Amino acid sequence: MAHACYVCSFYPVPDGEGVECPHCHRLQYGTKCPRCGQNAPTRVKDFRVFCTACGFERGALSGNGIAMPINMVGKPSQFGGIATRVLGTAGLAVTLLLVTFVTIAAVAYSSTILGALAVLLATFGSVAAFLLMRGGKKLQQQGERAQHDAREQAVAAAAKARGGAITAAEAAAVLEVHVAEADALLTAIAKEGARAHVEISNEGVVKYVFHDAAPVHVAPTTAAQPVTGVRVDTQTPVATSQSADPKQVAQQRVDREFEELKKTRAAKGD
Ligand SMILES: [Zn+2]
Ligand SMILES: [Zn+2]
């Protein structure tokens, strides 16, 4: 089964846990919900799987397929990354200690062999520690990215299930995080402007209103093939009067934002 990307509406994105959209490269979670019809991440409670968007029970945890609950997405990578970095730091400390001892011994006994050993230890130890720390950092970043994308997908789906709008408190309950954290995520999405904006009701309640992404049309012949990501975008929307289709202009803006996102992610080394 496949679905349209929750960010850019690119079709098809295969169902599953952590599947990357070939167009905007967002990671997507969950299979289609039978009640709200959305591909939304799941939440696990008492060994049963629920839809984060509408709360519908999707079945038992041991049922069909692997469910990655929203509060677990990215966590193994984040923990693994931190552990690897700690290991790297410890490795560096041990190397430093060993090199110091061997150097002292080399000086005390005027031994060239011990001196050479100290140099070798210092080289291999620091290279190993560096690799561990770099690998750990990368793993941690992957985990953070997965968590961010899953949370975005969950709040967007939850907003749609609530008629298009969601408050920070509601999003916090969906994501099982503090309201401030949910508010920061929603504010970031609203700031991007393409998918949501802020509305304040007469009662002073701040709501985040989600709109549908401009659809990405894919010709049937290219739909089956993976998109390689080569695309030509005009930096300035075509300003001629006959082509000022607001949908097209919006699409171009979304495309540019994705390109920027891709660049920042590439720069981060993902
Ligand atoms: Zn996409
Ligand atoms: Zn649902």
Contact 5, 26 (CB under 8 A): yes
- How many A from CA of 37 to the centre of ligand 2? 6
- How many A from CA of 80 to the centre of ligand 1? 28
- How many A from CA of 27 to the centre of ligand 1? 9
- How many A from CA of 194 to the centre of ligand 1? 13
- How many A from CA of 215 to the centre of ligand 1? 10
List the one residue out of 186, 238, 193 whose CA is nearest residue 208: 186
Q: Where are the domains of the chain?
A: 75-142, 233-264
Single-letter amino acid code for the residue at 84 = T
Tell me, what's the pLDDT at 45? 87
Which ligand is in closest contact with the Cα of 20? 1
- What are 35-71's pLDDT values in tens digits? 999 999 999 888 888 999 999 998 777 655 667 889 8
Share of the chain above pLDDT 70, in %: 80
Q: Whole-model pTM?
A: 0.72
- What are 199-213's pLDDT values in tens digits? 998 999 999 999 875
Tell me, what's the pLDDT at 269? 57
Single-letter amino acid code for the residue at 230 = V
Q: What letter does residue 241 receive in the DSSP assignment?
A: G
* Inter-helix orientation angle 168-175/112-161, to 10°: 120
Tell me, what's the pLDDT at 31? 86
- CA-to-CA separations, 67 to 6, 17, 26, 45, 132, in angstroms, rounded: 18, 7, 18, 12, 30
Contacts 24+ apart (CB under 8 A), 217-223: 218/10, 218/11, 218/12, 223/11, 223/12
- How many A from CA of 69 to the centre of ligand 1? 21
Task: Tell me: pLDDT of 238 over 50.
Answer: no
